[in-house]
Amino acid sequence: MPIRYPMVAWGALGVVATAAWFVTATRLMRIWGFSDAAPAIGLIAAVIVALTLWHWAATDRTQRALAVLRCPRCSQAIETRHEHARPGGVGSGLQSWTCDHCGYLHSESLTCAECAV
């Protein structure tokens, strides 16, 4: 079974960053005179950092899967479709990825070189 290096890297970054922000927030609260609330505020800071890194990792994983035309949910092949921008510069282009196997749908605003300006 291959090791997923990007996920290991995100996990290591998450552990280090979460611990660092917990310690930093706790110390700052103690310095500023909020000794009773320091652990709770440190925990809140750590949770926020952990959730932010989790969101970044999930977005990274989704973008990597879409780049190789694989569904982020089920790893089946996906279909792409691009709708060009309308003439006269009205609106922007739209790129869509769909998976017939699990029903995954993802769309992003994307204007290509061939889109009407």
Residues 48-68 have pLDDT tens digits of 999 998 898 889 889 989 999
Both ends of the chain: CA-CA distance in Å?
48
* Mean pLDDT value across residues 13-26: 93
User: What is the C-alpha separation between 104 and 98, in angstroms, rounded?
Assistant: 6
Considering the domain architecture, whether residues 63 and 87 belong to the same structural domain is answered as no
Considering the domain architecture, whether residues 62 and 13 belong to the same structural domain is answered as yes
pLDDT digits (tens, 9 = 90+) for 81-108: 888 777 665 667 788 999 998 989 988 8
Q: Which residues contact 114 (CB under 8 A, 6 or more apart)?
A: 84
Considering the domain architecture, whether residues 62 and 80 belong to the same structural domain is answered as no
Considering the domain architecture, whether residues 81 and 114 belong to the same structural domain is answered as yes
Q: How many residues does the chain have?
A: 117
Q: What is residue 68's predicted lDDT score, i.e. its pLDDT?
A: 92
Per the structure, how many domains does the chain have?
Answer: 2
Chain-centroid distance, C-alpha 78? 20
Q: Which residue has the higher pLDDT, 65 or 4?
A: 65
Q: What is residue 31's predicted lDDT score, i.e. its pLDDT?
A: 95
Considering the domain architecture, whether residues 53 and 97 belong to the same structural domain is answered as no
Considering the domain architecture, whether residues 11 and 56 belong to the same structural domain is answered as yes
pLDDT band at 78 (very low <50, low <70, confident <90, very high): very high
The whole domain housing 54 covers 1-68
Task: Order the strands of the 94-98 sheet from edge to edge.
Answer: 79-83, 94-98, 105-109
